[in-house]
Amino acid sequence: MQIHNSVKRLAVAGVLAVSLVAGGCGRQDAGGPRPMPEVAYITVQTRPVVTTTELPGRTSAQLVAEVRPQVGGIIQKRLFTEGADVRTGQVLFQIDPSLYQAALNNAKAALARSEANLSAIQLRAGRLRELLAEKAVSQQDYDDAAAALKQTQADIQYGKATLEAARINLQYTTITAPISGRIGRSNVTEGALVTAHQPLALATIQKMDPIYVDVTQSTSDILKLRRQLQEGQLSKNGAAQQVRLILDDNSEYPWKGKLQFQDVTVDPTTGSVVLRMVFPNPKGMLLPGMFVRAIIQEGVHKNAMLVPQQAVFRDPKGNPLTFVVDQNGKVEQRSLTLDRAIGDAWLVSSGMAVGERVIVEGLQRVRPGVPVKAVSFETGKNTGGKDKNAAPSVETK
Q: What's the domain count of the chain?
A: 4
Domain end, chosen from 274, 302, 330, is at 302
Q: Give the β-pairing of 291-308 and 242-246.
A: antiparallel
Per-residue pLDDT, 4: 47
- Note whether 275 and 319 are same-domain residues: no
- Note whether 276 and 182 are same-domain residues: no
Q: 182 - beta bridge partners?
A: 85, 206
- Note whether 178 and 166 are same-domain residues: no
Distance in angstroms (rounded) separating the CA atoms of residues 13 and 78? 115
Residues 6+ apart with CB under 8 A from 50: 237, 239, 297, 299, 300, 301
59 burial level (CB within 10 Å; 0-12, 13-18, 19+): buried
For residue 137, give the CATH number of its domain: 1.10.287
Eight-state DSSP code of residue 355: T
**Residue 109: inside a domain, yes or no?**
yes
Q: What is the pLDDT of residues 86-133, one digit of tens each?
A: 999 999 999 999 999 999 999 999 889 888 888 788 788 777 777 877
Distance in angstroms (rounded) separating the CA atoms of residues 119 and 321? 102
- Note whether 295 and 249 are same-domain residues: yes
Confidence of residue 329 (pLDDT cuts 50, 70, 90): confident
Give the predicted TM-score (pTM) of the model. Answer: 0.64
**Residue 391: inside a domain, yes or no?**
no
DSSP 112-153: HHHHHHHHHHHHHHHHHHHHHHTT-S-HHHHHHHHHHHHHHH
Q: What is the mean pLDDT of residues 27-37?
A: 60
Distance in angstroms (rounded) separating the CA atoms of residues 43 and 307? 9
For the ranges 54-63, 180-189, 229-238, which has the lowest average pLDDT? 229-238
Q: What is the mean pLDDT of residues 318-343?
A: 87
Domain end, chosen from 262, 283, 302, is at 302
- Note whether 212 and 189 are same-domain residues: no
Sequence letter at residue 69: P
With b for 16 or more beta-carbon neighbours within 10 A and e for fewer, the 343-361 pattern comes to: eebbbbeebbeeebbbbbb
In degrees and rounded to multiples of 5, residue 36 shows phi and psi of -75, 130
| % of the chain exceeding 90 in pLDDT | 31
Q: What is the mean pLDDT of residues 190-198?
A: 92
Most confident of 4-13, 34-43, 80-89, 327-336: 80-89
For the ranges 191-200, 249-258, 300-309, 374-383, which has the lowest average pLDDT? 374-383
Sequence letter at residue 296: I
For residue 57, give the CATH number of its domain: 2.40.30.170
Q: Are 194 and 95 in contact (CB under 8 A)?
A: yes
Confidence of residue 220 (pLDDT cuts 50, 70, 90): confident
Residues 6+ apart with CB under 8 A from 323: 311, 331, 332, 333, 334, 358, 359, 363, 366, 368, 392
**Residue 12: inside a domain, yes or no?**
no
Domain containing residue 135: 98-172
CA-based angle 116:167:114, to the nearest 5? 15
Per-residue pLDDT, 162: 92
Per-residue pLDDT, 187: 93
- Note whether 216 and 293 are same-domain residues: yes
- Note whether 142 and 85 are same-domain residues: no
- Note whether 187 and 214 are same-domain residues: no
**Residue 388: inside a domain, yes or no?**
no
Checking if the pLDDT of 8 tops 70, the result is no
**Residue 86: inside a domain, yes or no?**
yes
- Note whether 184 and 275 are same-domain residues: no
- State yes or no: cis peptide before 210, omega within 30 of 0: yes
Checking if the pLDDT of 230 tops 80, the result is no
Per-residue pLDDT, 367: 86
Per-residue pLDDT, 347: 86
Q: What is the mean pLDDT of residues 323-343?
A: 86
362 CB neighbour count, 10 Å cutoff: 26
- Note whether 238 and 320 are same-domain residues: no
Sequence letter at residue 59: T
- Note whether 360 and 373 are same-domain residues: yes
Checking if the pLDDT of 23 tops 80, the result is no
Helix (H, G, I), strand (E, B) or coil at 160: helix
8 vs 161, higher pLDDT:
161
Q: What is the pLDDT of residues 154-191, one digit of tens each?
A: 888 998 999 999 999 999 999 999 999 999 999 999 99
Cα-Cα-Cα-Cα dihedral of 255, 247, 225, 311, to 10°?
Answer: -110
- Note whether 80 and 180 are same-domain residues: yes
Per-residue pLDDT, 395: 39
For residue 338, give the CATH number of its domain: 2.40.420.20
For the ranges 99-108, 195-204, 258-267, which has the lowest average pLDDT? 258-267
For residue 84, give the CATH number of its domain: 2.40.50.100
